[in-house]
Structure 1
Amino acid sequence: MESASSKAEALRLQILKAESELEALRSQLEEFEAQPVPQNASPGPVFNAQSRDWKWPLKEDEYARYGRQLILPTVGIQGQLRLKSTSVLIVGAGGLGCPAAAYLAGAGVGTLGIVDGDAVEESNLHRQIAHSTAKLGQRKVDSLGHYCETLNPEVCIVTHATHLTPDNAEGIVSKFDLVLDCTDHPTSRYLISDICVLLQKPLVSASALRTDGQLIVLNNPAEPQGSLGGGPCYRCVFPKPPPPESVVSCGEGGILGPVVGVMGVLQALEAIKLISAGVGAQPKNPHAPALLLFSASGPTTFRSMRMRGRRTNCFACSASSTLSLAALKSGLLDYVQFCGVAAPVSVLRPEERIAAAAYNKLLGQNPELPHILLDVREKEHYDIASIPGAVNVPFSSFQLRKTDSEHPKPDWLPGDLPYDAPIYVVCRVGNDSQLVTRILKEMGLDGGGKRFIGDIRGGMRAWKQEVDDTTPFT
């Protein structure tokens, strides 16, 4: 019993001691909690980014800038790094080049080159979206370069305020990994394709006119000349240039802004796809080359035409090709002559033509002079502005035939018009009017020389310059 009582007493003493120590600890805790916490105090360890080097492959702000495309399986971090290390050359800072450059800069291409020798004009602004009214007269490369720099300062912009020529093509194109042809003439297209073949650069080519466009990726993979494993070049697809008379500029045929914008955006898309996969890399699932056709007004907006590979007899990329950098620089390749660029029409003798000012003076002296003024521009041009009294008969409606007994005279020729009343012909700049004048004479409407038939030299452009400067000219 004594032993049990002793042990119980010892336990009571331990409990009292423990309770005393616990009370002392509570008092210390209350004292510490009552003290103010210093402002620089930290509740726990904090990671300090400045205390160690940045270990990620992109800059911190680049993850925020490119985040929406970084999470795409087709891009990812590796694709973004390829974009950052790639240089792209855009030839042409117009309707195609503006949207293409903007989206490539936005995507984070490392170096963006721009080649163009023109200045910003007012007629550019409805479709060349990187330029503005404030930049009228400024060089296009400077205007587009500044636009891209403000969009993404991480991109290195390299500008060449010149047109690409056989003499400077190698020096410019050789510094870039990928080329976009954003020009608008066959002579440029053949030159750009040829230099890309010689320097083994993939090429994304597009064009647009009126409400239609086309796009094709060329020279991809960019194999040496003679290698059938390489992609076709422009000459493979178009061995012969179009007839000069069929080449219509935007000034003549017109262009809808969104159409050329669509084609420029598609060029940027194809470029990003090539870069993300690795420029020059053999694709895992290669696609046959295809020509993409776009129509804003047709029943089918997009159509794709499968193309063949390299032509075994291609002038540029075949094994038998004589194309070389030396030949290019020597001037042996005359692209203007090859494409047969049409010179100004000159089929009439001087006495068959009349100056715009002279025609206006003639009417001023004799306002009642019986005559016909035939405006052979297309209706869209005629509706914008015309010379008072002109009759619109579009050039496209003329047929190369003489009148016969069934069609003694055209519908536009009044029956009561005196047989010797002159016929004057006017067009946009004085080319089509000469051809129509010749057709009218072949139809026998000059009455064997009794009636004067001639054109107004210089067309509506001359009328604006010499007679009425308020006349809109497009």
Structure 2
Amino acid sequence: MQNGDTNTDQNGSGSSVPRDTSRPLTEEELDRYSRQMIVPGMGKEAQLRLLNAKVLIIGAGGLGCPAAQYIAGAGIGTIGLVDGDIVERSNLHRQVGHATSRIGQPKVLSLITHLKGLNPLPNYVAHTCHISPLNAANLIAQYDLILDCTDNPATRYLISDVCVLLEKPLVSAASVQTSGQIIVLNCPPTPQGLLEGGPYPPCYRCCFKKPPPANAQLSCGEAGILGPVVGLMGVAQAGEAIKILASGLHVPSTTPPKAPVEPTLLLYSYSLTSFLSPFTFRALKMAPRKKSCFACGEGSKGRLTLEGVKRGEPNYEFFCGLSSGPKQHVLSEEDRITPKEFVERVQQGKDGNSGKGKYVVLDTREKEHFSFGSIAGAVNVPFGKLLSKAAQIKRGGETPQVGDILPPEVKIEEGKEDVPIYVVCRRGLDSQEAVEKLKEMGLDNGGKRKIVDIAGGMKAWKEQVDPSFPYL
């Protein structure tokens, strides 16, 4: 494969032509990379390391796009990209490697088109698939350094575990809403279970022994994301990768470093609600490597293996509380109603409960989602606030009333305390849990008041009732 070519590989068995480590730099390379080669600590030797390096970027989205741009611009010799998604219009405000003209294309191929326009010299390897326990080892084994640009904890644990097993350094980042984080792991890479000194910094499990609760694992589609925030984290990933490769720290070693760098988690955040508040960078010192770590600690060789990962051991979905996928039918049929049925039976009065004051629609979306549109007469109590109120009431041992949960503008007519409550959210997941919480608090009056989930949320409302509804 020649420089600038693309090798498409869906199964993780792609290859690239190795670069000659003894050759002189070409005139084009001298001209293209001159500004970075004159930086103290770089020079020709460091540039040749970059030219001979192979980097795998897992995720071609908000993190992967800016990271890939600077990785390609720096002259990394082989750049592998892993992603199974296609470009959508909603990606473009932050995924700067894509374009309107490439909507509908595989993200990996779209990003490579962009990168070739920036620098045609590297070898680009397209893996148009999602990373999984079945292909992770085959993909990661081909490269010197891994960038985790994914958006969910289960995949982060998988990538980190395989990097430990294959002795690969890892630059991991995450971002949502107005905050982001980045950490370098397993660098320099050392054998699994080496107890004296390495790997330092530790693996992802050493830093985050337990994943966040399943209901706190929000995607950008649920929680939102600002482009510059995720872009900063992606650029920082590229900076760390270039530093590691230029200095040769990506080469596996059985000798622990004499002066290991303390693991540091870099956090970035700012507030949209207070425009006078400056953005902040914070560097948090992480705990050192744990002897008891499942992946890299004492006895880990018997617990974590490549063969086990391929067999589904450990089960990353189960570990992160997602083993059964998103909750779809946690409520009984009598506790659910479709948007179409709600319009026909409730709004149009076929069940005798139509009209103002005859029922309450509780919308648990965030206020930003709610502001774009809602069911007529709906009141907004964001899911997080509802859970917080429920926990507060439970701690106080109180017997709650509707007024403790609903906004004060909701008036329940005297003698109509048992009017039904219909709960809706964005996609029909949070609303089901909200129905359960309201019943746990006793707001169903022992079954006298109906508390019903509008199945499928506002996404289903758009599909079944109002195609013009601005579902975000």
Q: Which TM bucket (shorter chain)? A: 0.7 to 0.9
The structure number with the bigger radius of gyration is: 1
Please give the per-residue CA displacement for 1:150-187, whole angstroms capped at 9, x wherever unaligned.
11111100011111112212211111110000001111
Looking at structure 2, the residues matched to 186 and 226 of structure 1 have their Cα atoms a distance apart, in angstroms, of 23
Structure 2 match to 1:295: 269
1:255 to 185, 206, 225: 225
Looking at structure 2, the residues matched to 105 and 252 of structure 1 have their Cα atoms a distance apart, in angstroms, of 31
Structure 2 match to 1:271: 241
Aligned residue type for 2:319: F
Aligned residue type for 1:199: L
Question: Which deviates the most, 211-220 or 366-375?
Answer: 366-375
Superposed displacement of residue 406, structure 1: 8.8
2:403 to 409, 412, 422: 409
Structure 2 match to 1:109: 76
1:84 to 44, 51, 55: 51
Question: Which deviates the most, 253-262 or 285-294?
Answer: 285-294
Structure 2 vs 1, CA of residues 376 and 348 (structure 1 numbering), >3 Å: closer, same or farther?
same
Aligned residue type for 2:87: V
Looking at structure 1, the residues matched to 95 and 158 of structure 2 have their Cα atoms a distance apart, in angstroms, of 23
Structure 2 match to 1:392: 380
SS of residue paired to 1:236:
helix
Looking at structure 2, the residues matched to 247 and 240 of structure 1 have their Cα atoms a distance apart, in angstroms, of 13
Residue 307 in structure 1 maps to residue 286 in structure 2: yes
Question: Contact 1:377–1:392 (CA<8 Å) still a contact in 2?
Answer: yes
SS of residue paired to 1:384:
coil
Question: Contact 2:176–2:224 (CA<8 Å) still a contact in 1?
Answer: yes
Looking at structure 2, the residues matched to 429 and 96 of structure 1 have their Cα atoms a distance apart, in angstroms, of 25
Looking at structure 1, the residues matched to 437 and 74 of structure 2 have their Cα atoms a distance apart, in angstroms, of 55
Structure 2 vs 1, CA of residues 171 and 387 (structure 1 numbering), >3 Å: closer, same or farther?
same
- Could you tell me the TM-score, scaled by structure 1's length? 0.84
Please give the per-residue CA displacement for 1:251-310, whole angstroms capped at 9, x wherever unaligned.
111111110000000000000001111133687864222111111236561111122332
Residue 66 in structure 1 maps to residue 50 in structure 2: no
SS of residue paired to 1:184:
coil
Question: Which deviates the most, 238-247 or 210-219?
Answer: 238-247
Please give the per-residue CA displacement for 1:367-402, whole angstroms capped at 9, x wherever unaligned.
636221111111111012211211112222222247
Looking at structure 1, the residues matched to 284 and 84 of structure 2 have their Cα atoms a distance apart, in angstroms, of 33
Question: Contact 2:402–2:443 (CA<8 Å) still a contact in 1?
Answer: no
Looking at structure 1, the residues matched to 379 and 330 of structure 2 have their Cα atoms a distance apart, in angstroms, of 23
Superposed displacement of residue 447, structure 1: 3.7
Superposed displacement of residue 243, structure 1: 1.6
Structure 1 match to 2:120: 153
Structure 2 vs 1, CA of residues 404 and 215 (structure 1 numbering), >3 Å: closer, same or farther?
closer
Question: Which deviates the most, 414-423 or 151-160?
Answer: 414-423
Aligned residue type for 1:351: E
Question: Contact 2:145–2:250 (CA<8 Å) still a contact in 1?
Answer: no
Superposed displacement of residue 365, structure 1: 4.7
Equivalent residues in 2 for 1:136-175, closer than 5 Å = 136-175=103-142
Structure 2 match to 1:327: 308
Superposed displacement of residue 241, structure 1: 1.7
Structure 2 vs 1, CA of residues 269 and 284 (structure 1 numbering), >3 Å: closer, same or farther?
farther
Looking at structure 2, the residues matched to 353 and 193 of structure 1 have their Cα atoms a distance apart, in angstroms, of 40
Question: Which deviates the most, 326-335 or 111-120?
Answer: 326-335
Structure 2 vs 1, CA of residues 196 and 379 (structure 1 numbering), >3 Å: closer, same or farther?
same
Structure 2 match to 1:206: 173
Looking at structure 2, the residues matched to 326 and 437 of structure 1 have their Cα atoms a distance apart, in angstroms, of 42
Structure 2 match to 1:368: 355
- Could you tell me the TM-score, scaled by structure 2's length? 0.84
Looking at structure 2, the residues matched to 449 and 203 of structure 1 have their Cα atoms a distance apart, in angstroms, of 53
Looking at structure 2, the residues matched to 94 and 302 of structure 1 have their Cα atoms a distance apart, in angstroms, of 23
SS of residue paired to 1:130:
coil
Structure 2 vs 1, CA of residues 346 and 67 (structure 1 numbering), >3 Å: closer, same or farther?
same
Aligned residue type for 2:360: I
Structure 2 match to 1:75: 42
Looking at structure 2, the residues matched to 346 and 158 of structure 1 have their Cα atoms a distance apart, in angstroms, of 41
Looking at structure 1, the residues matched to 54 and 307 of structure 2 have their Cα atoms a distance apart, in angstroms, of 25
Superposed displacement of residue 351, structure 1: 0.9
Looking at structure 2, the residues matched to 447 and 86 of structure 1 have their Cα atoms a distance apart, in angstroms, of 66
Unaligned runs of 5+ in 1: 1-54
Structure 2 match to 1:421: 419
The percent of aligned pairs where both chains have the same amino acid is 52
2:199 to 216, 225, 230: 230
Normalized per residue, which structure has more helix? 1
Question: Which deviates the most, 424-433 or 173-182?
Answer: 424-433
Superposed displacement of residue 56, structure 1: 7.9
Question: Contact 1:190–1:335 (CA<8 Å) still a contact in 2?
Answer: yes
Looking at structure 2, the residues matched to 269 and 414 of structure 1 have their Cα atoms a distance apart, in angstroms, of 57
Structure 2 match to 1:316: 295
Structure 2 vs 1, CA of residues 406 and 267 (structure 1 numbering), >3 Å: closer, same or farther?
closer
Superposed displacement of residue 337, structure 1: 1.2
Structure 2 match to 1:460: 458
Superposed displacement of residue 220, structure 1: 0.5
Question: Which deviates the most, 95-104 or 222-231?
Answer: 222-231
Structure 1 match to 2:15: none
Question: Contact 1:277–1:283 (CA<8 Å) still a contact in 2?
Answer: no
Aligned residue type for 1:77: K
Structure 2 match to 1:119: 86
Structure 2 vs 1, CA of residues 445 and 242 (structure 1 numbering), >3 Å: closer, same or farther?
closer
**Aligned residues between the structures:** 420
2:366 to 375, 378, 381: 378
Aligned residue type for 2:143: F
Superposed displacement of residue 349, structure 1: 1.6
1:130 to 82, 85, 97: 97
Please give the per-residue CA displacement for 1:397-431, whole angstroms capped at 9, x wherever unaligned.
22224795796733354142633432211111112
Structure 2 match to 1:46: none
Aligned residue type for 1:157: Y
Structure 2 vs 1, CA of residues 377 and 87 (structure 1 numbering), >3 Å: closer, same or farther?
same
Please give the per-residue CA displacement for 1:190-215, whole angstroms capped at 9, x wherever unaligned.
11111111111110000001111111
2:336 to 327, 330, 353: 353
2:213 to 243, 255, 258: 243
Looking at structure 2, the residues matched to 98 and 442 of structure 1 have their Cα atoms a distance apart, in angstroms, of 45
Question: Contact 1:177–1:279 (CA<8 Å) still a contact in 2?
Answer: no
SS of residue paired to 2:452:
strand
Aligned residue type for 1:469: P
Structure 2 match to 1:4: none
